[in-house]
Amino acid sequence: MHALRLAATYLRLGALNELQYRANFFVSVFQSGLAVAVGLAVLALVYSHTPSLNGWTHSELMVVLGVQILLGGIIHALIQPNMQQLMDEVRDGKLDHALTKPEDAQLIVSLRTLRLWQLTEVISGAAVIGVGVARLGSHIGAGRSVAFLVLLLIGALLLYCFWLVLATIAFWLINVWFLSEMFEGIYQVGRWPIGVYPGWMRYSFTYLVPIGFAITVPAQAMTHRLHGHTVVIAFVFAAAVAVVTRWFWRFGLKRYSGASA
């Protein structure tokens, strides 16, 4: 409970900070508009040459695209800025400011920054999902919607864990400016259903880099492809990943010795 209150306070502070720069809202809207336009144009191009991609129709892939954009918004607003700050502070030896606080260090480094305006991507992603589902024309019941939202949360958790593992590598490598670029590159994999990829890539993008779970599985919930056992596996897998990530974070943290403090 206490942790949740702390998280809420941090996020509110972050939001207030961003609200000072309102012009950035329009920049974000423009950028998310462009991202959606490109995504839709690419889909249109692909489907001008084929009626279905590995069994997925145009409308169904719009749902996948929407989920990818939506989760991308959460990454850009909340996950990536915090991880970037963490990596920078490890390099500059300034992490002590976070570590000396009497709260859990992982909680603090994960919530210090919020890029509020990037959340426009969450809205544009949701809009793309909405259009995709509407074009499918099938009924989505309450049960499916709940499953979708829960799986989306699990997806966000998995992506956060993956980013934290990457950022923790900074304790060994120190200068890891290239990680953001690398993550962005790999994240584009999620734009297509994970079943498209050949075997070894499919496995690595499901379990090693959990993009399959994070994006394809929620999209399956909205396109009538979800099996009950996938949900169970997603829960178990997410719990395991969260535990391992926490262990790895603590293991890395032991290597930290402030450089300038």
Partner 1 sequence: MSAVATTRQESWARSTWDYYVTTIRTQLQAQFQYRAAVYAYMVALVAEPVIYLVVWTTIARSQGGSVQGIGVGQFAAYYVVWTLVRGWNVVFTPFGWEWRIREGEFSAALLRPQHPIHFELAWWTGQKLVWSVFYIPVFVILSLVFHPALHPRPLEIVVFFFAIWGAYVLRTINNFILGMITIWTTRAGAIFELWFLSELLLSGRLLPLQLMPHWVQSITSWFPFKWTFYFPIESLVGNMSNTALLRGLGIQLLWIGICVTVMRFVWRLAARHYSAVGN
> Taking CB under 8 A as the rule, does residue 29 contact partner 1?
no
> Taking CB under 8 A as the rule, does residue 196 contact partner 1?
yes
Is residue 234 within a helix (H) or strand (E), and if so which, with residue range? helix 228-253
Q: In this chain, which of 3, 15, 46, 146 binds partner 1, going by CB under 8 A?
A: 46
Give 20 or 50: the residue with its C-beta nearer to partner 1.
Answer: 50
> Taking CB under 8 A as the rule, does residue 48 contact partner 1?
yes
Structure tokens at 158: 């998995």
* Contacting residues for 124 by C-beta, under 8 A, at least 6 apart: 32, 33, 35, 36, 69, 73
> Taking CB under 8 A as the rule, does residue 127 contact partner 1?
no
> Taking CB under 8 A as the rule, does residue 199 contact partner 1?
no
The minimum distance between CB 254 and partner 1, in angstroms, equals 22
> Taking CB under 8 A as the rule, does residue 142 contact partner 1?
no
d(CA 261, CA 89): 11
> Taking CB under 8 A as the rule, does residue 139 contact partner 1?
no
Residue 66 exposed, middle or buried by CB count within 10 Å (0-12, 13-18, 19+): buried
The answer to whether residues 259 and 170 touch, using CB atoms and an 8 Å cutoff, is no
Q: In this chain, which of 7, 13, 31, 96 binds partner 1, going by CB under 8 A?
A: 31
d(CA 212, CA 228): 17
* Contacting residues for 158 by C-beta, under 8 A, at least 6 apart: 210, 213, 214, 237, 238, 241
> Taking CB under 8 A as the rule, does residue 173 contact partner 1?
yes
Q: In this chain, which of 8, 9, 19, 52 binds partner 1, going by CB under 8 A?
A: 52
Give the binding site for partner 1 (CB under 8 A). 27, 30-31, 34, 37-38, 41-42, 45-46, 48-50, 52-54, 173, 175, 177-179, 181-182, 184-186, 188-189, 191-192, 196-198, 201
